[in-house]
Amino acid sequence: MHTFNELMADFDTAQKALEKLQKVDAPKIMGVESVRIIKQNIDPIQGYDSGAGVAKWRPRSDKTNAAYDRNRSRAAAKSLAREKAKTARLSKRAAKELKVAIKQSEIAKNGGPSVAEQRLAAATKLAEGRAKAIAKAAATRAANLAAGKYKSPRRGGNSTYKGSVYSSQNPLLYQTGVLYRGIKYVINGSNVSVGVDFGLIPYAQTMNAGSLSRNIPARQYLPVGQPNLKIINAVLKKFDYERDRIMKKFKR
């Protein structure tokens, strides 16, 4: 049993928590839940869920998929060739350093066997360590290349290689992840704005609305015009959960 004073104290605490929920936490809940639902349109839905139904996006064309994978293979071959050449150069350098270290140790023998042995051991250990590190790095890079994890050059014009990121296996609107990560919310007083900064990511608007002149189909992921019932329901559910958590002591 609680005393009257304890109940009044709990009520006062709950009242302050409810005020904070309404004035401070509610905008954050709206922003967080809106971003979460919008991102779901990109992954995993691959369409626009209005809360009343899902409009699936038009699939990526076979021509585009082929271009992504072709350039990915080209980039992989070029990257692998560069890595092999770099490994060969570094291996030659390590071998040269080892020869120099041995030659220096021969010269250092005049200073006494112990000094020569110490220098030889140190130089040999250093050279062998470099050679092992180079071999390990080369093996790791080769394995990454085989698994499709690599970095490739980005060039302008028709010679652009889309290898390290672009792939036919990636979801629509999620090749680089820039657009996905660019979906954010901003709180200004009691107002909450949710979406993408088109100034920073100009193609985000084109992806949402499409472009007839550029033959880009509309793949809506942001609410336009009509309220999104799925977002509204998610916000209300989260708000009710937080309110019930605050008032739990007063429920039987």
Task: Examine the domain organization and report whether 81 and 205 are in the same domain.
Answer: no
Task: Examine the domain organization and report whether 84 and 142 are in the same domain.
Answer: yes
Counting the structural domains of the chain, the total is 2
Measure the CA–CA gap between 135 and 111, rounded to whole angstroms.
Answer: 34
Q: Is residue 42 part of a domain?
A: yes
Q: Which residues contact 182 (CB under 8 A, 6 or more apart)?
A: 196, 197, 200, 201, 204
Task: Examine the domain organization and report whether 231 and 185 are in the same domain.
Answer: yes
Query: HSE (CB half, 13 Å, CA atoms) of 39?
Result: 15
Task: Examine the domain organization and report whether 103 and 39 are in the same domain.
Answer: no
Please report, to the nearest 10 degrees, the dihedral formed by the alpha carbons of residues 54, 210, 162, 36 taken in order: -40
Task: Examine the domain organization and report whether 155 and 187 are in the same domain.
Answer: no
Q: State which amino acid sits at residue 36.
A: R
For residue 159, the model assigns a pLDDT of 38
Q: Is residue 76 part of a domain?
A: yes
Q: Looking at 135, 159, 183, which one is the last position of a domain?
A: 159
Task: Examine the domain organization and report whether 121 and 179 are in the same domain.
Answer: no
Burial of 18 from C-beta contacts in 10 A (0-12 / 13-18 / 19+) = middle
Q: Looking at 159, 185, 219, which one is the last position of a domain?
A: 159
Question: Is-contact 174 180, C-beta < 8 A?
Answer: yes
Which residue carries 């009044």 as its tokens? 8
Task: Examine the domain organization and report whether 141 and 198 are in the same domain.
Answer: no
Task: Examine the domain organization and report whether 53 and 73 are in the same domain.
Answer: no
For residue 75, the model assigns a pLDDT of 64
Q: Is residue 8 part of a domain?
A: no
Question: Is-contact 240 42, C-beta < 8 A?
Answer: no
pLDDT in tens, the chain (252 residues): 667 777 788 888 889 999 999 999 999 999 999 999 999 999 999 999 999 999 999 999 998 888 877 766 666 667 677 777 777 777 777 777 667 666 666 655 555 555 656 666 676 677 777 777 777 777 776 676 666 554 444 443 333 334 457 788 889 999 889 999 999 999 998 889 999 999 999 999 999 999 999 999 999 999 998 999 999 999 999 999 999 999 887 776
Task: Examine the domain organization and report whether 125 and 153 are in the same domain.
Answer: yes
Q: Which residues contact 168 (CB under 8 A, 6 or more apart)?
A: 60, 64, 65, 66, 68, 69
Instruction: Please list the alpha-helical segments (H only) found in the chain.
Output: 4-20, 26-40, 62-107, 113-146, 178-181, 203-209, 229-246
* Residue 76: strand, helix, or coil: helix
**Residue 66: in which H helix or E strand, if any?**
helix 62-107
Task: Examine the domain organization and report whether 151 and 182 are in the same domain.
Answer: no
Question: Is-contact 204 196, C-beta < 8 A?
Answer: yes
Task: Examine the domain organization and report whether 73 and 151 are in the same domain.
Answer: yes
| Cross-strand bridge partners of residue 216 | 211
Residue 85 sits at φ, ψ, to 5 deg, of -65, -40
Range of the domain at 39: 25-59+172-250
100: left (phi over 0), alpha (psi -120 to 50) or beta: alpha
Q: Is residue 16 part of a domain?
A: no
Task: Examine the domain organization and report whether 55 and 176 are in the same domain.
Answer: yes
CB atoms within 10 A of CB 234: 20
Give the predicted TM-score (pTM) of the model.
0.65
Q: Is residue 167 part of a domain?
A: no
Q: Is residue 166 part of a domain?
A: no
Q: Is residue 87 part of a domain?
A: yes
For residue 112, the model assigns a pLDDT of 53
Q: Looking at 104, 125, 159, which one is the last position of a domain?
A: 159
Q: Is residue 126 part of a domain?
A: yes
